[in-house]
Amino acid sequence: MASKNGRMSHTEVLPLLEPQAAVPCCPPLNERPMSAGEAEIAAKMFKALGDPVRLRLFSAVASHEGGEACVCDISDVGVSQPTVSHHLKKLKDAGLLSSERRGTWVYYRVEPAVLAAMGALLAGTEKAT
């Protein structure tokens, strides 16, 4: 392995280009090859959305009015209720959702910062055309 090329560096990863704060995680995918550590972090977020059921649950929460929804409102995704809970937990562990109990119901809401970070990861890639 490793052969036939011989340049790199440039785009030194300036610490602050835009005012995008909040979970910066990593530079755009096409900025420079991702390090192992960065990839580990970013892959967690992508993996969380890499399941159809989780994606539907996430979309259901994100599209719900107020940006939040209780479990009872979004558990019509074709799997058992424990499975729904399991997936919500995964989304929460990945940092994509946060939960809060209010009386009988538990409400989930999207974590906007992480979403922005993922968007930024992909957004930069458009220049690579």
Which residues form the interface with a second copy (CB under 8 A)?
A: 1-5, 7, 29-36, 39-40, 42-44, 46-56, 58-60, 62-63, 65, 67, 70, 72-78, 81, 105, 110, 112, 115-116, 118-119, 122-123, 125-126, 128-129
Q: Looking only at residues 24 through 43 of this chain, which bind DNA when binding is defined by CB under 7 A?
A: none
- Candidate ranges 8-16, 27-35, 51-59, 113-121; the one touching DNA (CB under 7 A): 51-59
DSSP codes joined into one string, 41-94: HHHHHHHHT-SHHHHHHHHHHHHSGGGEEEHHHH--SSS-HHHHHHHHHHHHHT
Task: Identify which of residues 22 and 76 has a Cβ nearer to DNA in the complex.
Answer: 76
Closest to 24 measured CA to CA, from 125, 119, 127: 119
Inter-residue contact 97 to 61 (CB < 8 Å): yes
Which residues are 102's β-sheet partners?
Answer: 105
Minimal distance, residue 89 CB to a second copy, in Å = 17
78 residue type, one letter: G
21 binds DNA (CB under 7 A): no
* Integer Cα distance of 111 and 117 in angstroms: 11
58 binds DNA (CB under 7 A): no
Minimal distance, residue 27 CB to DNA, in Å = 22
119 binds DNA (CB under 7 A): no
